[in-house]
Amino acid sequence: MGTRARTEDATVEHDLTEERARPVRTRFELAVRRMMNAWLAAGRIRVSPADVKLACEYLENQGCRVEGAPGALYRLTNEEGHEEEMTGETTVITAMRRLATPEE
């Protein structure tokens, strides 16, 4: 059971069963599947205040600063100091994107 990638003229086989799964470190990581299943069932993205809280905790654990902002927005400041205001939904999606992107 593996995947194959073609690089120029060579075929590389990668056995996915040889790698250990990364351990779950946060409550957000456990909640992602539940959130996404609910979105798929509803046909739209709807986040609860608890979902946003879990996402904020995850982002803070990843080195970001998250603060409430006027108008039910959240102000996210990343490690480089870039600041952005976003909705609760965007905050949750941002956390999911970070979770899906391995540390580089």
Residue-wise pLDDT for 33-80, tens only, equals 999 999 999 999 999 999 999 999 999 999 999 999 888 899 999 989
Q: Are strands 2-7 and 65-69 parallel, antiparallel or unpaired?
A: unpaired
Task: Check residue 16 and give its pLDDT.
Answer: 63
10-27 pLDDT, tens per residue?
676 766 677 776 677 789
Residue bearing the bigger pLDDT, 49 or 7: 49
Mean pLDDT score, 96-102: 87
Length, in residues, of the chain: 104
Q: Assign 3-class secondary structure to 45-64.
A: CCCCHHHHHHHHHHHHHCCC
Does the pLDDT value for residue 104 go beyond 60?
Answer: no
Q: For the domain made up of 47-104, give the CATH fold.
A: TATA-Binding Protein (3.30.310)
